[in-house]
Amino acid sequence: MALKSLAAARAAERRLDDRFDREALHDFRVGVRRLRSLLRAYRPQLETAVRAKDRRRLRAIQQATGGGREAEVALEWLTKQHGDLGPEHLAGLNWLSALLLERRRKCAEDLDGKVRARFRQTAEKLEERLAIMHSEHDLLAEHPHTTFARSLANLTEAHATDLLVTLGQIMNMEQEDQLHQARITAKRLRYLLEPVRAYANEAQSVVKRSKRLQDVLGDLNDVHVLMREIDQSFEASMQPKAVRVRDSLRGGDIDRARREASVSEWAGLVELYDRLDQERRELIARVRDRWLGGDLDALVSKARELAQELRHAEQTSHP
């Protein structure tokens, strides 16, 4: 499983060479995330092949690609808003788009430089160690080794309980950190069970439900990220505009100074922020009314049924 996950991440990394592949960065991030999730879940079983340094490097690679992907998602959303914005709002949209395009360009440069080289180096070492990994067990011991079925059952139950606690205890939909953590937990549960969908009856149901929860929480996270971007951009836009107006005045170009002073990005930024806030409210209503209204309990129940199914299968095959 680890070797297969690693191969998928390496294949996604090679696609980054194709500048026309719009999904390459997203798929590379997903590949690394899936790999990290698997290495985290089966840490005791993989301890002879996967070192703490490997985990730190993969985590750093994941973080290094975050800015570029966030910029891509934000630019896609801004493109959709362009058609029905008023002329007075276009300056704000164009200014914010330029900011995000520059960030995406810088992240792409870093990715092509240090990040991809670091990933290839880490992946090659991991592949070598995983390919020759061995594990010894004393079958005559008083407590024989745990089977894969029991390990998976325990992990499934633990992830489901974590999800119930994290999302179920949210009292205020403004708790962004807790909502973000719930999304990560739902994602880990999904990644955990995807490899066994064809072998365990309830696995597919849990995967689908986890994906739906992950999607709505992911959309909410994207909205929060872009709202913070706009919030911070007001201050970033003040100084350059003030400098342009001042330079025009010092150069004796009063007309240009008037134009600079009258055309502001702020009206557009306010409009975009308001649209994001409306989306945020709709997504929060979906989380509150649907997931906290019953779907979360159904997901956790299905996960626990799957855990029981796995334990029963182990007992049946090992009487």
**138-150 per-position pLDDT tens digit:** 666 666 677 899 9
Find out whether 190 and 211 touch, Cβ atoms under 8 Å: yes
Find out whether 36 and 45 touch, Cβ atoms under 8 Å: no
What pLDDT score was predicted for residue 152? 94
Confidence of residue 170 (pLDDT cuts 50, 70, 90): confident
The 10 Å CB-count burial string (b at 16+, else e) for 47-83 is: eebbeeebeebbeebbebbebbbbbbbbbebbeeeee
pTM for the whole structure: 0.83
Query: Over 60: is that where the pLDDT of 31 sits?
Result: yes
**pLDDT (average), residues 6-20:** 91
Phi, psi of 202, deg, nearest 5: -85, -5
What pLDDT score was predicted for residue 281? 92
Instruction: Give tens-digit pLDDT for 244-271.
Output: 888 888 888 888 887 776 667 788 889 9
Query: Over 70: is that where the pLDDT of 11 sits?
Result: yes
Higher per-residue pLDDT: 168 or 251: 251
Assign 3-class secondary structure to 276-319.
HHHHHHHHHHHHHHHHHHHHHHHHHHHHHHHHHHHHHHHHHHCC
Q: Could you give the percent of the chain with pLDDT greater than 90? A: 53
Confidence of residue 2 (pLDDT cuts 50, 70, 90): very high
What pLDDT score was predicted for residue 274? 94
Under DSSP, the state recorded for 16 is G
Confidence of residue 171 (pLDDT cuts 50, 70, 90): low
**pLDDT (average), residues 35-53:** 93
Number of Cα atoms under 13 Å in the Cβ half of residue 87 = 1
Query: Over 90: is that where the pLDDT of 300 sits?
Result: yes
In this predicted structure, which of 44-48, 87-91, 310-314 has the lowest mean pLDDT?
310-314
What pLDDT score was predicted for residue 184? 94
Instruction: Give tens-digit pLDDT for 176-194.
Output: 888 889 999 999 999 999 9
Instruction: Give the C-alpha separation, 318 to 188, whole Å.
Output: 29
Instruction: Give the C-alpha separation, 154 to 171, whole Å.
Output: 28
The 3-state DSSP composition of the chain as helix, strand, coil percent (nearest 5) reads 80, 0, 20
Find out whether 93 and 268 touch, Cβ atoms under 8 Å: yes
What pLDDT score was predicted for residue 126? 94
What pLDDT score was predicted for residue 135? 66
Q: Give the contacts of 283 (CB within 8 A, at least 6 positions apart).
A: 216, 219, 220, 223
Find out whether 37 and 188 touch, Cβ atoms under 8 Å: yes
What pLDDT score was predicted for residue 143? 61
Q: Could you give the percent of the chain with pLDDT greater than 70? A: 94
Compute the mean pLDDT over every residue in the chain, rounded to the nearest whole number: 88
DSSP letters spanning 109-129: HHIIIIIHHHHHHHHHHHHHH
Instruction: Give tens-digit pLDDT for 184-241.
Output: 999 999 999 999 988 888 899 999 999 999 999 999 999 999 999 998 887 777 777 7
What pLDDT score was predicted for residue 120? 94
